A and B are shown apart, each in its own frame.
Chain A
């Protein structure tokens, strides 16, 4: 019968709203949890579209109310009632009010009543307080709290003394959400437990935000006597925020006591946040007496305060017996240090290990100030080798532009570690004008490993020019006779990739020296563009030894694989002669791997042809399969 009534309402409302909601509600009427939710979702979307448009919302609300009064399944009602929280008005309250008293439907009714802005909704909830009990009543209290319904405070306050602890706890939480003088008074007078304390903290925070400091301070004062450590900690933080000056004696006392680490951490945080200079002084004095964990927090807190003139204090903290304190202090020196912190940081980076060394190095790289770079360069000239290495590393990491001359001197140091670090730092700082001196270092380097490092550094310096020139490399090439050095110069030219260097590489290929010829092929293989493609292909086809042909072919394929604006077909055509020149199955597999990247019919044909060779048939068939799939995506 009720369903019939609902259908009649649908007919009436449908004329005004449209048939969509009506149809959907009919579909939903027998809905059960777990059924496909499409119609429910569609109805939700309809409600969102109707929100804010009374002409659309009112007929939908009528349909929903009628639906709730029908004998639709509980799951169906549960699914649609939430839409009343979007389009509901006072007109929905009577049906929701009736549902409120029934434990089976109370939750869904509260969901809507909590959000319907009409005062009738709050009135219905207040009325339900007297008509409900158990969990239903607790739910009503929760909902009134979330509505911040000030008018319900007189009804909720007595529940703080209810025999049911769950109801009392819900009442306390609700009053904390509602706030205001009456709620505060009721909570202050109530038996103190954790729920009451949390609500009082919430009210005090609201007081602080509204600049009612005295009221907030009174609550915090009261809660500092709480038996719950987290409440005491929160109260201490609040108290310090409400009246910083008055809180200082207590914070000092807590700082010195070690019984409660949580409270001590809160005290340190409070002091860190205070602008008061006395707070900073307290923190600094506290370092001497505090336990290790608190000392780390104190150092971090003083760091956060960004107070000037702290260098001596951090320097002392950096000598602490506890590793974590030293690390925190070294990190702080990166912010507060300046030039006078640099000797300490470099010495520590050289002598410490692990996190302490890393902290010192990081601070050395980021410490700022007018004379910091000069202090680092001075250290490079005068320090012992272990410390000198750290100064050099810092010069590189800081990218000090005036460093190269000093670093070039350091690169001649008798100590291997100093030389090695200087060459690395020059990679970050040297510019094209430094190239001749760097090349001279390369020419005089004793060990291959040093030469290799210098190759990268020379190339990095020359590449810093907008138009890199290898003129200085060519000059060295002409005067140099040692094959290992000439090989290094070829490597440099390859890394830079300037066309003017190619004749030098070709000269090496004609030299008759197999080591130089190998270096020349590797140089062209590393070229950052395709300029030496033809040279490499000719070598792959007719180079002297198998080794040279293989290296040239690998280099050729590498260059073809470089990013380019060629079409896939053009790249495939470049790979075709490589496949022909490939001396062994190993190289054919390499060409097939490259071919798979260039998806086009030409690549496919090449792969199909290669499949006839049993030595590479598996790889060729795989390439065919990959290319066919790739081409199918493009159709």
Chain B
């Protein structure tokens, strides 16, 4: 489906060549597929390896070391900068913990970008499922106009961004790969609302794959 979609996109963009984007994954912290997670609307385990992430040549992680802000001024553990520091290891010291409730982090890419995909890890030391994961891309830091929702698995509108149709998913060392469909924006905001394991919110790393608009 992704291949199909991106082929159409490539046509629309002037037949840009699609190439596999290399993804660097951290060392897994657990093995196998968890069996007993009682979470509704959970996506079924994938059979076989993840299909390659295809995007126009020159697509790279444009979020690395970019400034990050968050809905809370005082993270309980770690620093907000950990979200884009490139350290994807699952252990202590590699993640930031935000308080309970709906919380968000916002990454400023510094300039408008065409965004093809995102790869994110909330926490992969355990096979957790984070609630109400909503990912938005916008041109303004307040996410008021031209806001693109590229992922929303909030099935009961508890986060307040409308009912989402995406599935809940289990955190692993592979991270969650989200198709951003070539949206334009400078700011990326990610919401969550605790997990099946804890009320707090966590981020190990967020990677945003895209290209500056001028290219």
Assess whether B144 is interfacial by the CB under 8 Å rule. yes
With an 8 A cutoff between CB atoms, is B142 at the interface?
A: yes
* CA gap between A527 and B69 in the complex, in Å: 17
Q: Are A460 and B160 in contact (CB under 8 A)?
A: no
| Segment 430-464 of A: residues with Cβ below 8 Å from B | 448-449, 452, 455-456, 459-460
Q: Is the CB of B158 within 8 A of A596?
A: yes
From A424, A495, A547, A561, contact of B144 by CB (8 A) = A547
Complex Cα–Cα for A626 and B163 (A): 14
Enumerate B87-109 residues with CB–CB distance to A below 8 Å: 93, 101
Nearest to A615 among chain B residues (CB) is B162
| In-complex Cβ contact of B160 among A455, A551, A590, A618 (8 A) | A590
The one of B142, B160, B162 that contacts A518, using a Cβ cutoff of 8 Å:
B142
Asked whether B63 is an interface residue with its Cβ less than 8 Å from the other chain, the reply is: no
Contact present for B158 and A460 (CB under 8 Å): no
Q: Taking the complex as formed, is B157 at the interface, i.e. its CB lies under 8 A from any CB of chain A?
A: yes
Check B67 against A449 for contact (C-beta < 8 Å): yes
Min distance, Cβ A544 to any Cβ of chain B, angstroms: 13
- Which residues of A are found within 8 Å of B161, using beta-carbon distances? 586, 589-590
| Smallest CB gap from A546: residue in B | B144
The verdict on A551 contacting B142 (CB below 8 Å), with A593-B157, A593-B158 known, is yes
A594 interfacial contact with B, CB 8 Å: yes
A619 at the interface (CB under 8 A from B): yes
Which chain A residue lies CB-closest to B91? A358
Determine how close the nearest CB of chain B comes to the CB of A490; give it in whole angstroms.
Answer: 13
Residues of B contacting A586 in the complex (Cβ-Cβ under 8 angstroms): 147, 161-162
Do A592 and B73 touch (CB < 8 A)? no
Q: Which of B67, B73, B147 contacts A456 (CB 8 A)?
A: B73
Please determine whether A550 and B144 come into contact, CB atoms closer than 8 angstroms: yes
Q: Mark B1-27, 1 if CB is under 8 A from A, else 0.
A: 000000000000000000000000000
Q: Which residues of B contact A622 (CB under 8 A)?
A: 156-157, 163
Contacting residues, chain A, for B159 (C-beta < 8 A): 593
What CA separation (Å) do A456 and B158 show in the bound complex?
29
Please, which residue of chain A has its CB at the minimum distance from the CB of B93?
A358
Does B74 make an interface contact (CB < 8 A)?
yes
Q: In the complex the two chains form, what is the Cα distance from A302 to B3 in whole Å?
A: 60
User: Are A618 and B142 in contact (CB-based, < 8 A)?
Assistant: no
Size of the A side of the interface (Cβ < 8 Å), in residues, is 31
Binary flags per residue of B152-176, CB closer than 8 Å to A gives 1, else 0: 0000111111110000000000000
A623 within 8 A of partner (CB): yes
Query: Residue A373 at the B interface, CB < 8 A?
Result: no
Contacts A456-B74, A495-B73 hold; do A592 and B156 have CB atoms under 8 A apart? no
Q: Is A22 interfacial (CB-CB < 8 Å)?
A: no
Question: In the complex, A619→B160 CA distance in Å?
Answer: 9
Q: Which of B75-90 contact A (CB under 8 A)?
A: 79
- Return the CB mask of A483-495 against B: 1 if under 8 Å, else 0: 0000000000001
Contacts A358-B93, A459-B73, A589-B157 known; A619 to B144 CB distance under 8 Å? no
A571 to B85 Cα, complex, angstroms: 41
Give Cα distance in the complex from A626 to B155, angstroms: 12
Assess the A550–B142 pair: CB atoms within 8 A: yes
Tell me how far the C-beta of A218 lies from the nearest C-beta in chain B, rounded to whole angstroms: 49
Given contacts A358-B93, A550-B142, A550-B144, contact A623 B157 (CB under 8 A): yes
Q: Which of B116-168 contact A (CB under 8 A)?
A: 140, 142, 144-145, 147, 156-163
Whether a CB of chain B sits under 8 angstroms from the CB of A149 is no
Residues on B with beta carbons closer than 8 Å to the beta carbon of A547: 140, 142, 144-145
- Beta-carbon contact of A618 and B163 below 8 Å: yes
Question: At the interface, yes or no: A526 with Cβ under 8 Å from chain B?
Answer: yes
User: Is the CB–CB distance between B73 and A619 below 8 Å?
Assistant: no
Q: Which residues of A contact B142 (CB under 8 A)?
A: 518, 547, 550-551
A-B contact pairs, 26 of them (CB 8 A): A358-B93, A449-B67, A459-B73, A495-B73, A518-B142, A546-B144, A546-B145, A547-B140, A547-B144, A550-B142, A550-B144, A561-B101, A586-B147, A586-B161, A589-B160, A589-B161, A590-B161, A591-B160, A592-B160, A593-B160, A594-B160, A618-B162, A619-B157, A619-B162, A622-B163, A623-B157
Q: What 11 new A-B contacts, CB under 8 Å, besides A424-B79, A550-B144?
A: A448-B67, A460-B74, A526-B73, A557-B160, A586-B161, A586-B162, A589-B161, A596-B158, A618-B163, A622-B156, A623-B157
Name B's A-contacting residues (CB within 8 A): 67, 69, 73-74, 79, 93, 101, 140, 142, 144-145, 147, 156-163
